[in-house]
């Protein structure tokens, strides 16, 4: 059963998102589910249909089992977010650059809200006013001999302060909160697909351009941060970010250490 009253929000509209999209790869086919388990799972199902489904985009108004990085749940009230997954065969870009391209595309799609512009917190959280407004989960999978990627994106749009409880009250935000208006999810969704298409193409031709763009909107560079790695905490200044190697920190206790995204959590920034 569809659990929520969607009359409060303008629903995602496939025709609007598809119209004059101008994207060469992403969004040739777009499907909007009212409710599903996880859009990443649906996209992975479509991967069994073969390469003809490359660039397919699955949106959902609600997920019953949305997931985030590190096994976290990703929950959102119906119609309040942009929840989508993109299926990509052979992206042609290295996975690390793919993740960066997604982060840049999401940040640019959100753009400026109120006083603040969207920034990236390593590796691929998108923040507004230092709070998380969007997350990205890139999953490499295979069906038979075919490898593919599913890129899951969640963007908080219509949440109000009271929607974020517990730890999230301190760490999460939405576009509406930051802009003090009601945003147009269809326009943002359309912009997202155009930006993803653009940055995937850039990533193929000139990965360095993506890395530079990503660095220019990263909030950690030059900041004093604390990370946790292998059960230990490390504090120092973030002096660099390398897409493949990770976060480079000039440690307070001396020396320079590189921390890889898969095994590192930012505790304080």
Q: Using CB under 6 A as the criterion, which residues of the chain lie in contact with ligand BTN when the complex forms?
A: 38-40, 63, 66-69, 72, 74, 83-85, 125, 135-137, 152-154
State the nearest-atom distance from the C-beta of 250 to ligand BTN, in Å. 27
State the nearest-atom distance from the C-beta of 74 to ligand BTN, in Å. 4
What is d(CA 93, CA 199) in angstroms, rounded to the nearest whole number? 10
Q: Which is nearer to ligand BTN, 137 or 220 (CB)?
A: 137
Q: Which is nearer to ligand BTN, 137 or 189 (CB)?
A: 137
**Minimal CB distance to ligand BTN: which residue?**
135
State the nearest-atom distance from the C-beta of 170 to ligand BTN, in Å. 16
State the nearest-atom distance from the C-beta of 43 to ligand BTN, in Å. 8
Q: Which is nearer to ligand BTN, 63 or 218 (CB)?
A: 63
HEC string of the chain?
CCCCCHHHCCCCCHHHHHCCCCCCCCCCCEEEECCECCHHHHHHHHHCCCHHHCCCEEEECCECCCECHHHCECCCCCCCEEEEEEEEECCCCCHHHHHHHHHHHHHHHHCEECCEECEEECCCEEEECCEEEEEEEEEEEEECCEEEEEEEEEEECCCCHHHCCCCHHHHECCHHHHHCCCCCHHHHHHHHHHHHHHHHHHHHHCHHHHHHHHHHCECCCCCEEEEEECCEEEEEEEEEEECCCEEEEEECCCCEEEECHHHEEEEEC
State the nearest-atom distance from the C-beta of 138 to ligand BTN, in Å. 9
Q: Which is nearer to ligand BTN, 24 or 265 (CB)?
A: 265
Q: Which is nearer to ligand BTN, 124 or 178 (CB)?
A: 124
State the nearest-atom distance from the C-beta of 199 to ligand BTN, in Å. 18
Helices 95-110/207-216 angle, 10° precision? 50
First-to-final CA distance of the chain: 41
What is d(CA 254, CA 49) in angstroms, rounded to the nearest whole number? 53
Q: Which is nearer to ligand BTN, 99 or 137 (CB)?
A: 137
Q: Which is nearer to ligand BTN, 154 or 236 (CB)?
A: 154
State the nearest-atom distance from the C-beta of 152 to ligand BTN, in Å. 3
């Amino acid at each position: 059963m569809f659990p929520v009253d969607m009359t409060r929000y303008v629903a995602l509209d496939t025709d609007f998102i598809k119209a004059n999209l101008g994207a060469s790869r992403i969004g040739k086919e777009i499907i909007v589910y009212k409710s599903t388990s996880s859009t990443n799972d649906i996209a992975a199902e479509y991967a069994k249909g073969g390469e003809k489904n490359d660039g397919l985009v699955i949106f959902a108004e609600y997920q019953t089992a949305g997931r985030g990085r590190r096994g976290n749940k990703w929950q959102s009230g119906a119609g309040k977010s942009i929840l989508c997954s993109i299926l990509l065969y052979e992206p042609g870009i290295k996975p690390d650059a793919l993740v960066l391209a997604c982060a840049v595309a999401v940040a640019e799609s959100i753009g400026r809200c109120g006083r603040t512009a969207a920034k990236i917190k390593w590796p691929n959280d998108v923040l507004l006013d230092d709070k998380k407004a969007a997350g990205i989960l890139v999953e490499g999978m295979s069906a038979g001999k075919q490898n593919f990627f599913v890129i899951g994106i969640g963007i908080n749009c219509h949440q109000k302060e009271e929607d974020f409880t517990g730890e999230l009250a301190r760490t999460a935000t939405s576009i509406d909160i930051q802009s003090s208006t009601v945003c147009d999810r269809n326009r943002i969704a359309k912009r997202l697909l155009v930006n993803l298409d653009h940055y995937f193409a850039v990533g193929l031709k000139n990965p360095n351009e993506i890395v530079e763009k990503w660095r220019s909107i990263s909030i950690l560079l030059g900041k004093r941060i604390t990370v946790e790695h292998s059960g230990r905490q490390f504090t120092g200044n973030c002096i660099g970010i390398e897409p493949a190697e990770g976060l480079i920190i000039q440690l307070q206790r001396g020396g320079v250490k590189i921390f890889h995204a898969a095994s590192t959590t930012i505790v304080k920034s």
